């Protein structure tokens, strides 16, 4: 294994020098039948490198949304060319599933299996759990994903509506 895991935190903290932190969140919109995902990538100084918001039609289940969010976070980090990343989410169930070596075959874990395959491509990685109040930015991105039709990626800037949550 090229990474390690960490325990729960309440406040967002920057990653070590030379690393990036990739926070994600996923949510279910039962009324519309969508899974919504938000991902924010920040450097070791806490500066936003990129954000991703996505809305996708999927089976409506919370664990599925969080698992899909984890997969999107891993894929986004790889697409950005990151080699050292701390992946952080607020779903303890998803974090624990990423940490386990055993596979459970259900729709949610299919996303997690693919995410694990992506993790091994990093030079170094960590997966950690953060409480919701330490993952506010991605929660706001998820809420905004309701208003988009597919996926929006912003590089080297960020949506102004997350500004106050970045501090």
CATH number for 22:
3.30.420.10
Number of domains in the chain: 1
Within a domain: residue 3?
no
Q: What is the pLDDT of residue 21?
A: 97
Within a domain: residue 128?
yes
Within a domain: residue 119?
yes
Within a domain: residue 165?
no
Q: What is the pLDDT of residue 1?
A: 41
| Complete edge-to-edge strand list for the sheet that includes strand 124-130 | 3-9, 124-130, 84-89, 20-29, 34-42, 48-57, 151-155
Q: Report mean pLDDT in 10-residue bins for the chain, 167 residues.
A: 52 92 92 90 96 87 88 97 96 87 67 91 93 89 88 92 86
**Burial of 126 (C-beta count, 10 Å sphere; 0-12/13-18/19+):** buried
Q: What is the pLDDT of residue 105?
A: 59
Q: What is the pLDDT of residue 9?
A: 53
Q: What is the 3-state secondary structure (H, E, C) of the chain?
A: CCEEEEEEECCCCCCCCCCEEEEEEEEEECCCCEEEEEEEEECCCCCEEEEEEEEEECCCCHHHHHHHHHHHHHHHHHHCCCCEEEEEECCHHHHHHHHCCCCCCCHHHHHHHHHHHHHCCCCEEEEEEECHHHCHHHHHHHHHHCCCCCEEEEECCCCHHHHHHCC
Within a domain: residue 9?
no
Boundaries of domain holding 48: 14-160
Does this model's pTM top 0.75? My answer is yes
- Nearest Cα to Cα of residue 25 among 35, 15, 33: 35
Within a domain: residue 58?
yes
Within a domain: residue 7?
no
**How far apart (Å, rounded) are the C-alpha atoms in residues 69 and 102?**
20
Within a domain: residue 144?
yes
């Amino acid at each position: 294994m090229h990474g390690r895991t960490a325990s729960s935190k309440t406040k967002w903290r920057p990653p070590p020098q030379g690393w990036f932190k990739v926070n994600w969140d996923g949510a279910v919109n039962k009324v519309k039948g969508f899974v919504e995902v938000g991902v924010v990538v920040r450097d070791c100084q806490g500066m936003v490198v990129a954000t991703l918001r996505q809305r996708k039609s999927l089976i409506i289940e919370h664990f599925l949304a969080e698992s899909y969010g984890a997969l999107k976070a891993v894929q986004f980090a790889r697409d950005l060319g990151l080699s050292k990343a701390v992946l952080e989410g607020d779903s303890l169930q998803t974090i624990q599933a990423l940490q386990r070596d055993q596979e459970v075959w259900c729709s949610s874990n299919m996303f997690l299996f693919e995410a694990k395959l992506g993790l091994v491509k990093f030079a170094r990685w960590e997966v950690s759990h953060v409480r919701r109040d330490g993952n506010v930015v991605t929660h706001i991105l998820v809420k905004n994903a309701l208003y988009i039709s597919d996926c929006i990626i912003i590089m080297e800037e960020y949506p102004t509506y997350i500004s106050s949550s970045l501090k």
